[in-house]
Structure 1
Amino acid sequence: MCGITGYVSTDRRAWESLPSMTQALVHRGPDADGYYRDGAVGLGHRRLSVIDVEGSNQPLISPDQDIAVIFNGEIYNYRALRRELADAGHIFTTNGDGEVLVHGWRQWGRQLLEKISGMFAFAIWDRGRAELFLARDHLGVKPLYYAWHAGSFVFGSEIKALLRFPTMPHDVDLDAVALYLECQYIPTPYSIYAAIRKLPAGHWLSVQNGALTSGSFWHPSYAPKHALQGTAAVDALSARLSSSIQSMLVADVPLGVFVSGGIDSSLIAALATRISGRALDTFTLGFRGNDVGSEHEEAARVARHIGSNHHCLMLSPEEVLPALDRWGEVFDEPFGDQAALPTMLLAQHARKSVTVVLTGEGADEVFGGYSNYGKRIREDRLTSLLGARGSPMPFLIRRLPARIARDRILKAAAEPRSRRYATIPNIFDALLRREYFTEKFRHSVSASITDRAELFYNECDSPSYLDHLLNIDARLWLPDDLLAKVDRSTMAHSLEARVPYLDHDFFGWCARLQPSDKVRGKGRKLLLKRLAERHLPIDIVHRPKQGFMMPLQRWLGRELKGDLEHALGPAGLQRRGLIRSDAIERLLREHTLNIHNHAMRLWVLLILERWFARYEPSFSL
């Protein structure tokens, strides 16, 4: 795992700024740095040594000096590609995975993207073609930001690197603010800065002859469906998941597993132990007291069951809060997923023992693990009936007060099927903008998470409504919330996180499973649970889903009460002119008096103002 950054620019200050840009990513790669310059092109790299520890420092340069590569992530099938390239006459000088990008680009060009499997963000400078080529992995495990401004192209693993480029504007993107308030994260391609964009998962970007072009090289396909049934389906799933895990166990440094006590990470730990043939280190976070649901006892049971070396970090909720002071440093833009707090602390704890961890992210989006899916499917017949062609209901619903019209069933009935589901969560619904946003802010924004969700609904090639819902979350919630949380929280402590459920071959195979193998009635993750029953205690497999849920309501009413009132007061968020002052005061009053639990809304507002106060961006309405 590493940090990458660079530019194409004739600005004379560009090369001088590259060390500072690269140093901004030192947490992603504390072991080494490297630089490359060829005229108007500069590349910077920070390395976390995982494979070929003594070699493979970057940038990696071709023997004829025509190709330079910087790379963040891991290429899991690099050994097979290395053999294929060696058979074609290529000579390797390192034992690492990154060098296959150098020779693979020379051999296959852009078709390289059809060959590689892994989590990655990379940049290739091809001197002969005068082309800078960037790509981001299939599902967006690794981040990649870029900006094209005033004749300069700049890119990096995190926003903080781009902000150190001398001509980078710091103007806020108001659409990004509105999207953040709607769903607690900023969806691709937006970033909080108007000049900076995220490269979407499964996309490439080319800078050549003063022009920028981009395209998609992969997206999930949900058809045709497998004909597998019964034990054969479980066996096939076992083989596929085991293959993904085995590819991710390759490392020349200590490796462990995050185990929450739920099925997803516990199954990864069990299979990884069986495949490796040794006791692995497992890590979990537990909470003292009754304010937060804790799964540390279940995680300990899993550890005993598989025979791992278990490490449990026990904290009180109050001991989690100090991590909030690093929030703005770790996340360069407003990010409201409160589970990042314990994830950051768990990563810090694990880094004392290992350099790489496997995690269970992605299983819910692959196998339909959220209760929301079953609810949406059960409601689909009713909402389709209410919103049928010729029905007056959509017309009538749109004229209801926003607080009524945002009811899940009514809101869905008022929209075509492609716009009924807009991923999770929903904080400040777009229908409530008139109630909460100032008039200037409301008239300055047009983006909605529903617009983004509709794109991914229409992208799905399956007749199954469930598959459409899964694809929306796999393309929005997964990369921009869950994976962003894991990447930033772990890399803040120089810890590499690998996600076996998100190997793109495994994901693509699972996408073609029958919907009934995932969700049926109130049952969820059905096929995955059948596999887990082979490796885990039955009660662990069938435990209700939990997750990291911090006591936000109590924190905002006690420990953070003073900070909240100041941040949202006249000297804080109210002076930004984004949220109506009377709306902020009503939220605070109703929450304090326990009239309504506005914890999530107050939390995302608090995070937003803390970001404004820390970064002081260019901003006006």
Structure 2
Amino acid sequence: MCGFVGWLDKAPADRSILERMTTTLVHRGPDAAGYHLDGPIALGHRRLAVIDLAASQQPMHSACGRYSLAYNGELYNFKTLRAELQAKGVQFRTNGDTEVLLQALIAWGDAALPRLEGMFAFAFWDKQNQSLLLARDPLGIKPLNIYQDGQRILFASELKAILAHPGVSRDIDLDALQLYLECQYIPAPFTIFKQIRKLQPARALRVQNGQTHEWTYWNPSYEPKWTASEAELTDQLEAELKRSVSSMLVADVPLGAFVSGGIDSSLIAALMKDVGQTQPKIFNLGFIGNTSHSEHEYAARVAQHIGADHHPLMVQPGDVISAFDQWVDIYDEPFGDQAALPTMLLSRLTRQHVTVALSGEGADEVFAGYSNYAKRLKEAKLAARLGHPLSPLPLIYPLLPATLRKDRLIKAAARPLARRYLTIPNHFDRELHKGILNPALTSKTSVPLEMLAEEAYVNCQATGYLDKLLTIDQKLWLPDDLLTKVDRATMAYSLEARVPYLDHKLVEFAARLPANMKLHGRDTKYLLKKVAERYLPHDIVYRGKQGFVMPLHEWLAGGLSASLSDMLGAGGLGGRNIFRSGFLDKLQREQATPKRPHGGRLWTLMVLELWFRRYAPDFRL
């Protein structure tokens, strides 16, 4: 795992700028640094050595000097690809996956992209054709940010590296600001900065002769559905999971796993044991004195059941609060998922023991793990009747009071089918924005989250409604919230996280499962649980989904109360003229009453103000 930066620029290259940009990513790669400047191209790289420790330095160049590669990620099928390339006469100088990727791109060009199994982002330069190729893995596990103006294109694993270039504009994107308030993070392709964007998952971009071409190189096929029996599909899913987990255990450094005590991560740990890890090291976090928010006892039970080496981290509120100041340096832009802080602490503990950790992200979005899916399917028929073409609801909807417009069913029925579904938590619902935000912000044309959901819905080739909903979450919620949280939190401590449920071959298999093999009545992740029954205690497999939620109400009334007043007051967010007068005071007053808790909202706002103080202290609408 690594981090890289670079540019394609008409102006002469400045090595000192490249070194400064690359140094911002030292946490992603503490083991080595590399630089390449040649004419218009500049590449910088920081390496975390995981495979082929002594070699595979980057940027890596072909023997002829024509091609150069800067790469972040892991190719789990690199040995298979290497054998194919050797059969074609390619000779290798190293034993790692970096040279395999380089030679695959040389041999197969763009056709190499769908053949890559793993997580990655990379920059590939062809000196002879003056062509730059940028690409990101199919599920968006690894990040890639891009800045373009009339003279140059800059790219980097994290925003902070692009911001280290003196020619980059820091103008704030007000669309992105509204999206953050709506859903607690900023979805791709947006970033908080107007001229920097995220390359979306499964996308590639080529720059050549002043022209830019971008395309999608992979989409899962949902048809035809598998017709095998439930028992046969269970066996096939188990085999796919074993293949994925086994492929992700290839490393020349110690490995472990995050285990919350829920089915997803617990099954990964159990499969690690089954495919050859004698005593997997597992890591989890719990809250001292607050068992309602803690899962450490379940993780301990899983460890005992599978014979794992268990490393719990028990934290107090002060431990989490003390890490709050690191937040914006790690996430670069406003990011309000409260689970990010404890994930940072867990990553710090885990890095003391291993260099690579497997994680359970993605199972819910691939196998339908949220109860919300059953609710939306049940709601769909009623919403269709209420939103019938002859219904007056779509016409009168804009005239309804804001509290009615934000009602889940009414809002869904008033919209086209492609815009009816969102699982992202709307802390500040878009229907409320005109009533709570400065008119200078809401009067501008903006892109609501439902518009991005519609794009995912329309582009999904599935015919079933559940598959469409899963696709939306895989395109929006998964890469830009869950995977961003894990990538930044782990890489902050030079820890590589691998996600077996997001092996794209496994995702392709799951896409063709019949809907009732994912959501069986109200039973979520139906087939995955059938596999888990073979490895885990029944009560672990079928216990209710808990999620990782911090006790925010108690903390905001206690250790965070002074910070809350400071950050939302006139000297903080209250003075930036984003919200209508009195709104922030009202939120804080209501938070003090048990009947109107606003913990998630207030946390989101505190993170926003913390970001402003770090990156745009003078911002004011």
Relative to the length of structure 2, the TM-score reads: 0.98
Distance 2:481 2:487 in 1: 10
Following superposition of structure 1 onto structure 2, how do residues 458-607 of structure 1 map, counting pairs within 5 Å? 458-607=458-607
CA deviations on 1:253-299 (whole Å, 9 max, x unpaired) are 00001111000000000011110141111111111112652111111
- 1:122 corresponding residue in structure 2: 122
- 1:334 corresponding residue in structure 2: 334
Distance 1:62 1:329 in 2: 35
Following superposition of structure 1 onto structure 2, how do residues 175-574 of structure 1 map, counting pairs within 5 Å? 175-290=175-290, 292-574=292-574
CA deviations on 1:298-320 (whole Å, 9 max, x unpaired) are 11111111111111111123322
- 1:67 corresponding residue in structure 2: 67
**Matched residue type, 1:390:** L
Distance 2:115 2:85 in 1: 11
> Could you say if the C-alpha distance between residues 22 and 617 of structure 1 is closer, same or farther in structure 2, counting changes exceeding 3 Å?
farther
CA contact (8 A) 1:292 1:317 kept: no
Distance 2:271 2:211 in 1: 47
> Could you say if the C-alpha distance between residues 220 and 425 of structure 1 is closer, same or farther in structure 2, counting changes exceeding 3 Å?
farther
CA contact (8 A) 1:256 1:358 kept: yes
Distance 2:19 2:353 in 1: 30
List alignment gaps of at least 5 residues for structure 1: none
> After the TM superposition, which of the residue ranges 191-200 and 556-565 deviates more from structure 2?
556-565
- 1:25 corresponding residue in structure 2: 25
Structure 1 residue 244: deviation in Å?
A: 0.7
Structure 1 residue 207: deviation in Å?
A: 1.4
**Matched residue type, 1:615:** Y
Distance 1:309 1:523 in 2: 31
After the TM superposition, list the runs of 4 or more consecutive aligned residues in structure 1 that deviate by more than 4 angstroms: 617-620
- 1:82 corresponding residue in structure 2: 82
Distance 2:530 2:569 in 1: 52
Structure 1 residue 618: deviation in Å?
A: 7.3
Structure 1 residue 593: deviation in Å?
A: 3.0
**Matched residue type, 2:100:** V
Structure 1 residue 16: deviation in Å?
A: 2.3
User: SS of the counterpart of 2:582?
Assistant: helix
User: SS of the counterpart of 2:530?
Assistant: helix
> After the TM superposition, which of the residue ranges 268-277 and 156-165 deviates more from structure 2?
268-277
CA contact (8 A) 2:259 2:282 kept: yes
Distance 1:421 1:527 in 2: 24
**Matched residue type, 1:423:** T
Structure 1 residue 393: deviation in Å?
A: 2.4
> Could you say if the C-alpha distance between residues 163 and 315 of structure 1 is closer, same or farther in structure 2, counting changes exceeding 3 Å?
same
Structure 1 residue 91: deviation in Å?
A: 0.8
Structure 1 residue 574: deviation in Å?
A: 2.0
User: SS of the counterpart of 2:193?
Assistant: coil
> After the TM superposition, which of the residue ranges 268-277 and 7-16 deviates more from structure 2?
7-16
CA contact (8 A) 1:30 1:494 kept: yes
CA contact (8 A) 1:44 1:59 kept: yes
> Could you say if the C-alpha distance between residues 291 and 593 of structure 1 is closer, same or farther in structure 2, counting changes exceeding 3 Å?
farther
Structure 1 residue 619: deviation in Å?
A: 4.4
Structure 1 residue 23: deviation in Å?
A: 0.4
Distance 1:271 1:404 in 2: 48
> After the TM superposition, which of the residue ranges 12-21 and 482-491 deviates more from structure 2?
12-21
User: SS of the counterpart of 1:86?
Assistant: helix
Distance 2:67 2:277 in 1: 40
CA deviations on 1:345-381 (whole Å, 9 max, x unpaired) are 1100000000000000000001111111111111111
Distance 2:373 2:111 in 1: 36
Distance 1:352 1:228 in 2: 45
User: SS of the counterpart of 2:342?
Assistant: helix
**Matched residue type, 1:491:** M
Structure 1 residue 200: deviation in Å?
A: 0.4
User: SS of the counterpart of 2:116?
Assistant: coil
List alignment gaps of at least 5 residues for structure 2: none
User: SS of the counterpart of 1:140?
Assistant: coil
User: SS of the counterpart of 2:275?
Assistant: helix
> Could you say if the C-alpha distance between residues 269 and 291 of structure 1 is closer, same or farther in structure 2, counting changes exceeding 3 Å?
closer
CA deviations on 1:397-437 (whole Å, 9 max, x unpaired) are 33210111211111111111111112311111110011111
CA deviations on 1:223-271 (whole Å, 9 max, x unpaired) are 2211122210100000111111111010000000111100000000001
Whether 1:158 and 2:158 are equivalent positions in the alignment is yes
User: SS of the counterpart of 2:147?
Assistant: strand
Matched residues, number:
621
User: SS of the counterpart of 1:581?
Assistant: coil
CA contact (8 A) 2:457 2:468 kept: yes
- 1:140 corresponding residue in structure 2: 140
CA contact (8 A) 2:612 2:619 kept: no
Structure 1 residue 445: deviation in Å?
A: 4.5
Distance 1:620 1:342 in 2: 31
Distance 1:205 1:245 in 2: 30
> Could you say if the C-alpha distance between residues 511 and 158 of structure 1 is closer, same or farther in structure 2, counting changes exceeding 3 Å?
same
Distance 1:587 1:617 in 2: 23
User: RMSD of aligned C-alpha atoms?
Assistant: 1.2
Structure 1 residue 601: deviation in Å?
A: 1.3
**Matched residue type, 1:103:** Q
> After the TM superposition, which of the residue ranges 78-87 and 547-556 deviates more from structure 2?
547-556
**Matched residue type, 2:233:** A
**Matched residue type, 2:436:** Y
**Matched residue type, 1:243:** R
Structure 1 residue 389: deviation in Å?
A: 1.6
Structure 1 residue 41: deviation in Å?
A: 0.7
Distance 1:188 1:221 in 2: 22
Structure 1 residue 221: deviation in Å?
A: 2.5
> After the TM superposition, which of the residue ranges 217-226 and 540-549 deviates more from structure 2?
217-226
Distance 2:255 2:106 in 1: 33
**Matched residue type, 2:499:** V
**Matched residue type, 2:501:** Y
Structure 1 residue 588: deviation in Å?
A: 1.2
CA contact (8 A) 2:321 2:560 kept: no
> Could you say if the C-alpha distance between residues 277 and 600 of structure 1 is closer, same or farther in structure 2, counting changes exceeding 3 Å?
closer
> Could you say if the C-alpha distance between residues 383 and 323 of structure 1 is closer, same or farther in structure 2, counting changes exceeding 3 Å?
same
Distance 2:391 2:537 in 1: 51
User: SS of the counterpart of 2:505?
Assistant: helix
Distance 1:605 1:429 in 2: 14
CA contact (8 A) 2:365 2:470 kept: yes
Distance 2:474 2:409 in 1: 23
Structure 1 residue 13: deviation in Å?
A: 6.0
CA contact (8 A) 1:139 1:479 kept: yes
Distance 2:12 2:588 in 1: 50
> Could you say if the C-alpha distance between residues 277 and 488 of structure 1 is closer, same or farther in structure 2, counting changes exceeding 3 Å?
closer
Distance 1:589 1:297 in 2: 36
User: SS of the counterpart of 2:221?
Assistant: coil
CA contact (8 A) 2:372 2:423 kept: no
**Matched residue type, 1:56:** S
Distance 1:371 1:323 in 2: 32
